[in-house]
Structures are given as structure tokens and as C-alpha cells.
Amino acid sequence: MTNDMKPPPQNIVQPPEQTPVTTKVAAEVETGHDMVSSTRKFSRNYDVMHIVLRVVCIFASVVSIVVMVTAKEKSTISIYGFDLPLYSKWSFSGSFEYLVAASSVVAAHSLVQLVMTASRTLRKSSVFSSRNHAWLIFACDQCLRILDD
């Protein structure tokens, strides 16, 4: 007897070839470490950008405080031929005092964050120690932005 029946084809799934990229990703997953080479460059650029933005924020807050504190207005009004001098200083207003105080708080917060960011950048460590720390700084920045508006 001859066996005319052929064995059924077997579906053999072969794993794809591993490239250096997939081996790096696999190594990262196994060890739990990030790729230091690619994230460090991004992190340094981000840290420098963070420092520059903090300096700009401090500068803008200080300029607004100086302009508001030194704002004065002099004018004269003529009533029935009499010239009466008018003098106003914006610090007489309660809302003005609030704006100066809010700008001062924003400048102080930015200065503290600038010192912390610069010191961590000089130590070559991450600016934000955790995701929660980053969200906390973001929330404080947003609250102070609303306060200053």
C-alpha cells in the first residue's frame, strides 16, 4: 500500500529578526532604565529652556512692578478760568496694590524655581524629581498666572 496522503502543512511562525533597536528596547524593559543617550540630550535642552523662561518671567514681573510703582499723572483742570492742579498716584487704589503684590509673588516664585532649576542643572540631575513634582510646579505656575491676571 502506498500512502498518497501528504501530511498537512504546518504553520510555522518565525520571530522577526531582532535589530539593535529592538534589543535596546528589550534591554530597557528588562532593566527598567531609560535610554540615557537620547533622553539626556532632550533633558538638557529642556532644562536650558526652563531656565530661560524663568529669567524672562522674572524680568517681566520686575518691569511691571517698577512701571506700576512709579506711575504718576499730573494734569490741570480749568474751572471758570481758575487752573487747578491735579495729581494722582496709582498706589492710592486697592486693586493696584493687589496687582503689585501679585506680581511680587510671581517674581519671588519664579526666582525660587530658577535657583532650584539652575542648581539641579549644574549638578546634572533631573529638574523634576518625579511626575508628581512636575505637575505640582505646573499647577503652582498656573495658579500664579491666574492670580496675576
Decide if 96 contacts 64 (C-beta within 8 A).
no
Q: Which residue type does 24 have?
A: K
Query: Of the candidates 111, 94, 110, 105, which has an alpha carbon nearest to the alpha carbon of residue 65?
Result: 105
Q: Nine-digit cell at 43? A: 533633558
Decide if 105 contacts 144 (C-beta within 8 A).
yes
**What pLDDT score does 86 carry?**
77
What would the pLDDT profile of 129-142 be if each residue is shown by its tens digit? 888 888 998 898 88
Query: Of the candidates 65, 147, 56, which has an alpha carbon nearest to the alpha carbon of residue 110?
Result: 56
pLDDT along the chain (149 residues), means of 10: 63 59 52 48 75 92 88 80 76 78 91 90 82 88 82
Q: Nine-digit cell at 11? A: 504553520
**What pLDDT score does 2 carry?**
58
The pTM assigned to this predicted structure is 0.59
Decide if 54 contacts 120 (C-beta within 8 A).
no
**What pLDDT score does 146 carry?**
85
Decide if 119 contacts 73 (C-beta within 8 A).
no
Residues 6+ apart with CB under 8 A from 4: none
Decide if 46 contacts 40 (C-beta within 8 A).
no
Give, for 86, the enclosing helix (H) or strand (E): strand 82-89
